[in-house]
A = this chain, B = another copy of it.
């Protein structure tokens, strides 16, 4: 225990921080968890990630790595058990591509939640258009990674748990079970996986935080 010398600096409600936790657990890598107060960022974080000052940061033998998707790739290269990527370089490139889509789609969906009226509608339409492509991609598969959770599943891991909260707070719909039955089925597959269901933040805290962010955003606009 602890012999791996791995420390994760993250924040309880962060969907990108959870990506790293899920992967460490899937691979069975022991790590120390350090909760960061993102409203009162510590000197530690500013020192570890001076360019963006964002969680998560992984420390391996005291050396920091930032950006969740890059951390996942580092972990996969360092601990070989439970590989996250397919074998062939072309399949690897496609997985990386969907990883960038996951980040852009998360940003668009979150922005949609914060906005209202025409601006919101525009963002929702953008998000739905990408969701339609994702529906084609997952159709007929249990996970994006095939029979088991892989890099792309982890990257889109915010859809099953965070997105319904954002949809509720923004009074909007991005995943439609009738239009996106395959994504809806994947959502269930993902959430019922032991490692995932035991490592999710409390829904009430997510709701509280999201409501707060939407209020802040509206008052910044009107203020």
Given known contacts A77-B89, A90-B65, is B133 in contact with A70 (CB within 8 Å)? no
**A interface secondary structure, majority:** helix
Chain A, residues 77-100, CB within 8 Å of chain B (1/0): the string is 110000000000110111011001
* Cβ contacts under 8 Å, A66 to chain B: 97
Given known contacts A51-B133, A133-B50, is B63 in contact with A90 (CB within 8 Å)? yes
Give A contacts to B, CB under 8 Å. 50-51, 60, 63, 65-67, 70-71, 73-74, 77-78, 89-90, 92-94, 96-97, 100-101, 130, 133
Given known contacts A97-B70, A100-B70, is B130 in contact with A60 (CB within 8 Å)? no
Copies in the complex: 2
Cα distance A78–B100 in the bound complex, in angstroms: 21
* Cβ contacts under 8 Å, A133 to chain B: 50-51
Which residue of B has the minimal Cβ distance to A49? B97
Which residue of B has the minimal Cβ distance to A70? B96
Which residue of B has the minimal Cβ distance to A136? B50
B65 touches A92 (CB 8 A): no
Could you say which of B60, B78, B93 contacts A71, with CB atoms under 8 Å apart? B93
Cα distance A66–B93 in the bound complex, in angstroms: 9
Cα distance A89–B67 in the bound complex, in angstroms: 15
How near does chain B come to A58, taking the closest CB pair, in angstroms?
9
* Cβ contacts under 8 Å, A100 to chain B: 67, 70
* Cβ contacts under 8 Å, A77 to chain B: 89, 92
* Cβ contacts under 8 Å, A51 to chain B: 97, 101, 130, 133
23 contacts between A and B (CB under 8 A): A50-B133, A51-B97, A51-B101, A51-B130, A51-B133, A60-B90, A65-B90, A65-B94, A65-B97, A66-B97, A67-B96, A67-B97, A67-B100, A70-B93, A70-B97, A70-B100, A71-B93, A73-B93, A74-B89, A74-B92, A74-B93, A77-B89, A77-B92
